[in-house]
Amino acid sequence: MFPHLRAQTMAFIACLLTLGLLSGCAMPRLIDSDVQSFTSSAAAVTPASYRFERLPSQAGAPVPSTLETLAAQSLSKVGLVAVPAGAEVTARYAVQVSLEVSRIASPYPQSSMGGGWWGHRDGRRRLLLDMSLEPQWVRHVVRVLLRDTASAQVAYETSATFDGPWSDTNNLLPALLDAALQGYPHPPAGPRKVVIELPAPEAQDD
């Protein structure tokens, strides 16, 4: 292969890899979250009822918010059931759920490849490439807190953090919430890594 064609091919492949990384690709993903959970003297139990309790910063969010809707699905997997709105029933727990999304520096060094214009050197015509590739890197942090409504004590606190090249937050949330609640109500002590496979998005008809 001619040198300039090889350089073009390498640049094209690198571009495809970067675009695939940023889009999330139509294939399963393994979401490896860093999880840490805490219990207190007011031991968490299951099954139990709960209601969502909003922080002041969440006051303007739609009711229910996307985060609460997805959290309810994960909470149901560990035996926690939401008290219907307007029901004259006291929930066992008040649940606070929050999400932080931030851009962070990529853990991988920036790669660069020469070119983008034609030039002459030593009487020969060459294609010189100059392409810099640095994928975005995004940190998602989900926190879930259960407070006993009778005593106002925190019964369970957990968080899941995932750093990766994807920014499709709503697609990542179910895996993050499941990871945060894994082991409820008796989680392992200390930080741990929880890996959950996120299925590929279903193809949509035109």
63-82 pLDDT per residue, tens: 778 999 999 999 999 999 99
Q: What is the mean pLDDT of residues 111-121?
A: 47
Does residue 86 or residue 169 have the better pLDDT? 169
Measured torsion, CA atoms of residues 90, 42, 78, 177, in degrees rounded to the nearest 10: 100
pLDDT digits (tens, 9 = 90+) for 4-14: 444 443 333 34
May I ask the CATH class of domain 30-106+118-197?
alpha beta
Return mean pLDDT, the chain.
80
Q: What is the mean pLDDT of residues 193-197?
A: 97
Beta bridge mates, 143: 98, 159
Residue 120 has a pLDDT of 46
Q: What is the mean pLDDT of residues 95-124?
A: 70
Q: What is the mean pLDDT of residues 137-158?
A: 96
Mean pLDDT is lowest, of 36-45, 51-60, 151-160, for: 51-60
Question: Which among 29, 66, 19, 33 has a CA at the least distance from the CA of 201?
Answer: 29
d(CA 15, CA 21): 10
In the predicted model, is pLDDT for residue 132 greater than 70?
no
The domain locations on the chain are 30-106+118-197
Question: Which among 185, 142, 186, 192 has a CA at the least distance from the CA of 47?
Answer: 185
